[in-house]
């Protein structure tokens, strides 16, 4: 088992074995982040740290499952390790301390949408509410689905920022926009009814789990000390995406005697729209003065041209860590650019090119990406039979494919970058920083580019090219014309 560590590169080995109390590991795309996390846990156990004294936080259940499976193969009893998502860890703490929690049911995002509709339907039995609700939709020309979407977004964001209903209403009273004020008058009643329904039916939503666990740890010092003593080593994955509530949770568990290891990549922070705050990873060294910063410099996924192009683009952002990332692989395939005259020509090009590529690659080796579902809509039916993966860049984070197409790389409506001023509604609960939103869009483009292993196609509209496409040096690109032959898709280095 000791041979497991010998397979790590210098940066990975340092991250896996460092004895520093506070460690910030900057793990770029394709750098072996999961290998580092599992190797660090393996090394801790090897050095007599009990598995039950380790808390490993991941962002998704699939990531937690993958980590447990890898650890088990490495000879670590992963069942004893708290390898959980934030929400699962919070729920487990509540379960261990409240007998009544065992009866609580977790409401999923899908069920939450249905519940909001139910709440509004119940409230509309009151004629006064029904009149105000219908007037609001009519005056703002909003379909009901858009209102439900906005209600869900606001309530989730309020909870992720630990804002109470009282806090939100106080803020709403200070704004001048009458439509936004009317929205929050309706929100007050819906939010109140929603929370009452959850309480009466023993439901918790994901955000409540976090806040309830924070409340418990904050109010009961004995329980807090128990978990602080228990978790001698805390490891956090995807630290660039943490939000206010998650950091509060971590700060409570992490006392002066604990060891904290966080891993992430500020270049891939793309969830600010749902509460993620890149500031936490950027300010980590300021918070922990004794912090050791470790950079994983190699990308083991992508062709050299892809890695260099991605690095050139992302460096246009100013507030970030300076990193020099190198591809483990040589420069073999330049990035293909297709400039269509319109969206129809772009669609036809992609369909024909995929048809040719399928003679060389399996369906599951090709992925089509877009900034949002509106851009991808016209491709879904056309590519359904091929089973080529079609997904948004946000959904594709953590994935990789041999061949990747990124479509919709034009400026303007539904383009990329996709930035629109926040509704006056959202300004009540968060600041609107347009420069940071542009930076996040650039990071989103970076994430899209770095999903590709060998071949990357960027599709744009002639004379409407995305500024991000323009930021890639021409020496990394190969401009394509409309003529498509087998020769034009001949790729170097089919086997690695």
Read out DSSP for 103-155? G-EEPPHHHHHHHHHHHHHHHTTSHHHHHHHHHHHHHHT--HHHHHHHHHHHH
Q: Which residues contact 179 (CB under 8 A, 6 or more apart)?
A: 136, 139, 140, 424
In this prediction, residue 150 carries a pLDDT of 86
Pairing of strands 401-406, 452-461: parallel
pTM more than 0.85 = yes
pLDDT at 90: 94
pLDDT at 24: 98
Cα radius of gyration rounded to whole Å, the chain: 24
pLDDT for residue 489? 54
Examine domains 9-98+209-296 and 304-489 and report if their fold is the same. yes
Instruction: Report the C-alpha dihedral over residues 103, 104, 108, 114, rounded to 10 degrees.
Output: 100
**In the structure encoding, which two tokens stand for residue 79, read together?**
């069942």
Residue 102 has a pLDDT of 61
User: What is residue 36's predicted lDDT score, i.e. its pLDDT?
Assistant: 95
Q: How far is CA 397 from CA 34, 313, 373, 388, in A?
A: 14, 18, 15, 17
Domain definitions of the chain by residue range: 9-98+209-296, 105-201, 304-489
User: At 22, which helix (H) or strand (E)?
Assistant: strand 22-27
- The CATH class, in words, for 304-489 is alpha beta
Which DSSP category does 296 fall into?
E
CATH of 9-98+209-296, one of 3.30.750.24, 3.40.50.300, 3.55.40.20, 2.40.37.10: 3.40.50.300
Q: What is the token pair recorded at 27?
A: 């793990």
pLDDT score for 487: 47
Residues of the chain with pLDDT below 50 are 486-487
């Amino acid at each position: 088992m000791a041979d497991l560590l010998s397979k790590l590169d210098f940066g990975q080995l340092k991250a896996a074995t460092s004895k520093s109390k506070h460690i910030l590991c900057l793990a770029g795309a394709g750098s072996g982040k999961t290998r580092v996390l599992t190797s660090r846990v393996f090394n801790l156990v090897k050095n007599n740290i009990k598995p039950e004294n380790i808390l490993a936080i991941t962002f998704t259940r699939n990531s937690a499952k993958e980590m447990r499976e890898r650890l088990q193969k490495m000879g670590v009893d992963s069942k004893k390790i708290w390898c959980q998502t934030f929400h699962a860890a919070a729920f487990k703490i509540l379960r261990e301390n409240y007998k009544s929690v065992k009866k609580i049911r977790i409401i999923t995002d899908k069920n939450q949408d249905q519940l909001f509709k139910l709440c509004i339907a119940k409230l509309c039995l009151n004629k006064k509410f029904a009149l105000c609700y219908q007037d609001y939709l009519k005056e703002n020309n909003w379909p009901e689905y858009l209102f439900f979407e906005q209600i869900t977004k606001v309530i989730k964001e309020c909870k992720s920022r630990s804002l109470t209903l009282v806090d939100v209403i106080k803020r709403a009273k200070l704004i001048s926009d009458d439509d936004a004020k009317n929205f929050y008058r309706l929100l007050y009643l819906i939010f109140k009814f929603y929370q009452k329904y959850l309480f009466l039916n023993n439901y918790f939503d994901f955000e409540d789990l976090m806040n309830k666990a924070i409340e418990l740890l904050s109010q009961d010092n004995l329980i807090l000390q128990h978990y602080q003593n228990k978790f001698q080593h805390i490891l956090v994955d995807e630290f660039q995406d943490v939000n206010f509530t998650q950091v509060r949770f971590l700060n409570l568990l992490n006392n002066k005697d604990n060891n904290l290891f966080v891993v992430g990549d500020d270049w891939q922070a793309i969830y600010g729209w749902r509460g993620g705050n890149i500031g936490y990873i950027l300010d980590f060294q300021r918070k922990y003065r004794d912090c050791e910063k470790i950079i994983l410099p190699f990308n083991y996924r992508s062709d050299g041209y892809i890695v260099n192009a991605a690095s050139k683009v992302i460096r246009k952002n100013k507030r970030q860590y300076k990193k020099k990332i190198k591809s483990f692989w040589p420069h073999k395939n330049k990035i293909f650019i297709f400039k269509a005259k319109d969206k129809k020509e772009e669609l036809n090009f992609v369909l024909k090119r995929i048809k040719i590529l399928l003679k060389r690659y399996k369906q599951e080796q090709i992925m089509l990406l877009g900034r949002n579902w509106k851009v991808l809509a016209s491709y879904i039916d056309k590519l359904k039979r091929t089973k080529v993966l079609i997904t948004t860049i946000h959904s594709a984070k953590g994935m990789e494919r041999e061949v990747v197409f990124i479509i919709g790389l034009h400026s303007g409506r539904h383009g990329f970058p996709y930035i629109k001023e926040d509704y006056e509604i959202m300004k009540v609960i968060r600041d609107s920083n347009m420069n940071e939103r542009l930076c996040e869009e650039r990071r989103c483009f970076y994430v899209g580019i770095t999903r590709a292993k060998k071949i990357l196609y960027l599709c744009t509209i002639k004379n409407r090219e995305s500024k991000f496409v323009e930021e890639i040096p021409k020496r990394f690109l190969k401009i394509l014309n409309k003529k498509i032959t087998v020769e034009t898709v001949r790729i170097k280095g089919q086997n690695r």
